[in-house]
Structure 1
Amino acid sequence: MRIHPLFLQLFLILAVVSLSQCSPKLTKNHQSDFFAISAAVENHPQFDKIILPYKERLDLEMNTVIGQTVKELNKAGKGETTLGNFVADIQKEYAEETFGYPVDMSIINNGGMRNILPEGNITLRNVFELSPFDNYLYILELKADDVKKLAKFAAEKKILGINGMTIATENDLLTEFTVQGKPVEEGRNYLLAINDYLANGGDQMEFLIDLPRKETSAILLRDFILEKIKEKTAKGIKLDAEIEGRQKFK
């Protein structure tokens, strides 16, 4: 897990301040004690005084409203969810705008989204809670067999939000799948927008590891979610998503 620069900066400031309060004379001491950290541990007034201005500044920034939702976007259900559809949609949209070519599919792991987007005002904090990890945007190239493996995985595991592909199952077995509403064509390359965690085999998706990478960007999932939310807000668009039958399970 990578630490976001905003939190790292606060940590470093506090570390420097704390060190500046210490005596410059250092002596070796091989004694140590262990203290259990819990809610029962009292705050130290001196540390509170040092930390409070930085905490207030951080809270002010994190509580900034950046958009609004029509309703709560969450991960309720298996496979297809409102939150999964929302993130997969804007990931595909952002990838096409950024790289300048069509992207056939976009997927997001539901487990990688750590919180909901509540109904009403959406703050910077909401997006950090949704995407606390530093996951990067990749574009993979898939052949027809690779697309089938992806569809089969989605049908069996039911853990992905998907844009561009529809699947249907019966008794957890894949019975039908399409890309952009059409059967998959042999000999054609398909482009998949995905995060680096999944591209590198996370969530048991090892079949993606050796696929060609068309893009391995340093664009954070969290950053493009923020950018797209702000862009939609500037256009007066409220955030929304529906369960559309992209993944049908029987």
Structure 2
Amino acid sequence: MDESRALRRAGWAGVGSLVLLAGAVALGYLVGVDDPSMSDADIIARLNDDTRQAAAGFAPPVLAAGVALLLWFAAGLRRVLDRLSGGDPLAHVIVPAVAMFGGLMVTGVSLDVSSAFAAWSAEFTPDPNTVRALGMAGQVLALTGLIGGGVVIAVTTRIARQAGVLPAWAMWASWVVVVLCLSGFWSGGIASVAFGLWLIGAVVGVLRAARGAAATEDGVAATAPPTPTNN
């Protein structure tokens, strides 16, 4: 039962990662400055708001926890792809690609919320232009991290299609998401939403694979010959 249990846990880790990543993005949105045209007064007001300062403190650790669970899910997804492909080395790209995505996301969000977090200190004098620059740098880094997500989708799509378990419409939809992810900053929030939707489908796929592995293990156990005993 070890195989099915491991895949099931990886699938639920994927569910947890989706919840935490969405929560971290929402927290970062509350406090980050991703619009350079925002007025100086509005930027200063955001930085000095106690609720937004608290959000700045919670966003990075919540995001890091989500990335950790996503890496767990990626290990399970790689195992499923190994089984589908018969050990294609390309499947081993999955975990490093997720690590790239997660690393750039954490760095980008941390830059975006750093000014508000520093505003907790009475020694920090906010400068709107510096805040704008940090916010845009964080946005560029985070959206560039979607390239890692695009690699995950491309590898998964290729192996699943070769194994004949992916319908044509899902394959073409996946390639569209790959293009959006690779375009990074230029696709804006559309790529992030598309990648999140694809992740939901991938989580469902891993959980279904876990059920299939459990059924196979039960069938093997039922047909196994009885262990001889000595009288």
TM class, shorter-chain normalised? under 0.3
Q: TM-score, normalised by structure 2?
A: 0.27
Q: Structure 1-normalised TM-score?
A: 0.26
Higher strand share: 1
